[in-house]
Chains A and B, each alone.
Chain A
Amino acid sequence: MNVFDMTINALHHALKDKKISSFEATGAMLARIESVEPQVHSFITVASEQALTAAGAADQRIASGDCGMLTGIPLAIKDIFLTEGIRTTCGSHILKNFMPPYSATSWEKLQERGAVLLGKLNQDEFAMGSSNESSAFGPCRNPWDTSRIPGGSSGGSAAAIAARQATATLGTDTGGSIRQPASHCGCVGLKPTYGRVSRYGVIAYASSLDQVGPLTRDVADCAVMLEAIAGHDPKDSTSVDTPVPDYSATLALGVKGIKIGLPKEYFIDGLDPDVQTSMQSAIETYRRLGAEFVDISLPHTDYAVATYYLIATAEASSNLARYDGVRFGHRSEQAEGLINMMTKTRSEGFGAEVKRRIMLGTYALSSGYYDAYYVKAQKVRTLIMNDFIRAFADVDVMLTPVAPTPAFKIGEKINDPLQMYLSDIFTIPVNLAGTCAISIPAGFSTDGLPIGLQLIGKPFGEVSILQAAYAFEQATEWHTRKAKI
């Protein structure tokens, strides 16, 4: 078996049994990156030298008998995580040459466990997009069909798994940015409960919605990654101080007798027939495994996308104010005077989608509009949260599609922001409710494109969705298929 095809679990055993060194595994991975990168473009920065140094250090650790699950495992992370000494761009021209002086907590936690960083992954600029087309460094492509988008905003994080350029990756999910690309690229992607993973050192898009999560080849790896990054961080006031369960230990408990909710608002007429078929067959699989299905309703689902685009853009308009050319990042060279410098810097540094969202958000917060837009959106957000609380009184998890269609063509929706925004219609409500959800491979379209299913859990109910996901994975073979690249 090729090193780059391995899961974390498989590679960990190979490392532990000294069948391979981390240095060799990392070298093989870097070679793989080099060979497929021209077709996929998952990476913004490949950090070969640092990776090999870290791999060497990991090998010493392993030699001394300290071989944790992630020791020596070559990973890659979205370019939204600050990495000390490795350029961090967030997919934006404005941070093209930004060298962070500190690292994100989630990455530090992986680093402490001996993980090796291969590089920084492509993404939509400032995580604003569903297709990776807004990256200032050129779009990432779907390894299953390179004429298609990998999804977004963590497109690189999903494509790198599908193209076998990293054993596992980290992404961030604000409105579906882990789950939707995971679904489009046929891998596992988890958005943890808001507050489960520290946001410190993660470049903020929409602070009340952003959450860090793993993308992996299978559910067991996902559990390993989540265990490593979860937990309270004194540097993030919104991270919750609640114990981190041993997710791996409870994976195999099965789904017999659990109640799975099917929210009727997620099974709409416009759903792609292939997606519909995959959902039907998934429901049958779960029935066979002993799960019980309950029809439920999340009545405010229709308002989720509108609500999201008010709250997320409002927060973004403020979060992105710091990119003013004064202290770091791009500064316009043609500018004269202060206001002109800031204006030109931002005009040159930000791409079209980022500008669109800054303007939307600024408008929503402006005096005279604040109550009608921002405050109203917050109220609707509460209603959406209440929908979930009410529905979860009757079920353990919910099953829904991740996206209404499989991956679309590059350029297909780029000039139609509203159509683009609607591709997150099934993922956005979970962020607004602040709860957790996972996307796992659940079939393929007639064109051979991966289709994911989403399992939504209660707040801090990662254990339940991982169990349900694992049971499904054990019963199916979707996750073993590989993109031909």
Chain B
Amino acid sequence: MNYQPVIGLEVHVQLKTDTKIFCGCSTQFGSEPNSQTCPVCLGLPGALPVLNKKVVEFAIKAGLSTNCSITPRSIFARKNYFYPDLPKGYQISQFEDPICQQGWLDIQVEGAELKRIGITRIHMEEDAGKLVHGDVSGLDDGSGVDLNRACTPLLEVVSEPDLRSSDEAVFYLKKLHQIVTWLGICDGNMEEGSFRCDANVSVMPIGSGTFGTRAEIKNVNSFKFVKQAIEYEIQRQIDLIEDGGTVVQETRLFDPNSGKTRSMRSKEEAHDYRYFPDPDLVPLVIGDDWVERTRQGLPELPEKRRLRFVTELGLPEYDAEVLTASRALAEYFEAGVEAYGNPKLVANWVMGEITRAINDSGTSIENCPVAPSQLADLLKMIDSGTISGKIAKTVFDGMWQSGKAPQAIVEEQGLVQVSDSTHIESIISEIMTANSGQVEEYRGGKEKVFGFFVGQVMKASRGKANPTVVNELLLKMLNG
């Protein structure tokens, strides 16, 4: 029998606010354990949460960018369970009436049609702390609790079970990742856990209208692992059914080393979280004006921008796609176009030299040492004939190393293009004299030798001779 996988994703997006969701402590990653804590995030008796407005703003941005409606009156709830990394014995989250509801994202897997994936809800919540085991200074074989991460703001984005393959899941995830980083509300760092995913996976016979029993795979932390985990889980469930077994509802953990999932707890062991509205926080009322103001302030989203690059700037689909991979890249490109014009040429340089240099040096477009205006200046120097396209690459390397303006590099290194025909004619004469054999061959009809002469002239001029002038004069003198 053939099976149809059904997948829904729950993504935790850590928000890039300076301070925590319910207190003023810093959200900085990697600090000394428990150095970023206060009575509120330590869950001390008597401490009370106060909502960080920035978190709400970010949530509204995420909601509007994923076509959600913003709930006018949303409620915080307590999710109760005991664990040492959960200081209050409950997590402040949202249950009924989350801030964003009923959205969608369109995805397109290569070679397939555009597909709309429903987003059930997006809600705000606080993160828990972290347990540290074993060989930590001051810990004698025991376990310690680091509460720096406790109370950092998260969005949980819950999709409908609309995904039908691991590829679709990964495309959806990448799209969501692109949006939240594009909005600047998440740093997108999956290794540090800023963007992590739980996958609900089930299978059903193709044609069946009823979903199979699902397993939830917890905390999968890279696109690659999401694909692996889902594929493994699909196969595991199919094998189980084929062998006459039944899938049980449970929570499973993905092990990146083996590529397998294993059972963590069954439905019977599942927590009863006893959700109820948090009496310490008043209902969050979001007026239309706030939503509208946020909508106005939203950046042009990747999809819209990609389209505009094609329709208004005349870029090929491929270029537009590459240049909208991140907001910083798109913005760099557009700044270059603004300063220079000719979008296709700027695109070639951004996708070529700049991307290469970024990859080679391991930096990012945000830290690119060559400003878009400097790139424009460089291209203008080619157009004016000051340097050749080839020399421009040398100048670019100089700019990358030193951060200097192209004019300065050209001057310092004496790279100004030679277009003066008398000077070039004298070079050509010398070369023709030194290579009389090749001159004879050319004149005898062996036109391929022409390239040899171009090379010699460029070499003799150390690349500075204007190639158009060289071509012109060579033709004249060789044939003369």
Which A residues fall within an 8 A CB radius of B? 81-82, 88, 90, 95, 98, 100-102, 104, 199-204, 206-208, 234-238, 314-315, 317-318, 320-322, 324, 326-328, 338, 342, 362, 365-367, 370, 374
Contact = CB atoms under 8 A, between A and B. Distances in A.
A267 B44 CA distance: 43
B357 interface: no
B50 interface: yes
A318 B89 contact: yes
B87 A199 contact: no
A322 B88 contact: yes
Nearest to B22: A237
Interface string B218-244: 000000000000000000000000000
Nearest to A202: B46
A238 B272 CA distance: 28
A200 B47 contact: yes
A374 B48 contact: no
Given A237-B49, A365-B80, A370 B276 contact: yes
B47 A365 contact: no
A81 B51 CA distance: 23
Contacts of B282: 237-238
A367 B48 contact: no
A203 B45 CA distance: 5
A400 B252 CA distance: 59
Contacts, number: 99
Nearest to B276: A365
Contacts of B280: 204, 207, 237-238
Given A318-B78, A322-B89, A366-B272, A328 B44 contact: yes
Contact of B82 (A98, A324, A328, A370): A324
A327 B87 CA distance: 8
Q: Interface SS of chain A: helix, strand, loop or mixed?
A: loop
Contact of B276 (A200, A234, A314): A314
A298 B145 CA distance: 51
Interface in B46-72: 46-51
Main secondary structure, interface of B, reads: loop
B51 A321 contact: no
Nearest to B145: A326
B370 to A, nearest CB: 46
Give the top 3 A-B pairs by smallest Cβ distance, nearest first. A321-B89, A208-B279, A365-B274
B7 to A, nearest CB: 26
A311 to B, nearest CB: 9
A342 B274 contact: no
Q: Of B45, B51, B282, which is in contact with the most chain A CB atoms at under 10 Å from its CB?
A: B45
B76 to A, nearest CB: 10
B349 interface: no
A200 B48 contact: yes
B82 A234 contact: no
Contacts of A327: 42-43, 87, 145
A34 B169 CA distance: 72
Contact of B274 (A88, A95, A102, A362): A362
A327 B84 CA distance: 9
Contacts of B78: 318
A318 B280 CA distance: 12
Contact of B45 (A88, A237, A362): A88
Contacts of B279: 206-208, 238, 315
A329 B89 CA distance: 15
Interface in B7-51: 39, 42-51
Contacts of B276: 314-315, 318, 365, 370, 374
B19 to A, nearest CB: 14
B281 interface: yes
B104 interface: no
A297 B44 CA distance: 42
Interface in B95-149: 145
Given A207-B280, A365-B80, A367-B274, A98 B45 contact: yes
A86 to B, nearest CB: 14
B171 interface: no
A324 B50 contact: no
B45 A95 contact: yes
B345 to A, nearest CB: 55
B274 A101 contact: no
Given A237-B49, A327-B145, A321 B44 contact: no
Contacts of B450: none
B82 A237 contact: no
A380 to B, nearest CB: 16
Nearest to B40: A235
Contact of A338 (B39, B45, B84): B84
Given A82-B44, A237-B281, A318-B78, 6 more contacts: A101-B44, A102-B39, A204-B45, A206-B279, A235-B48, A338-B84
Contacts of A362: 274
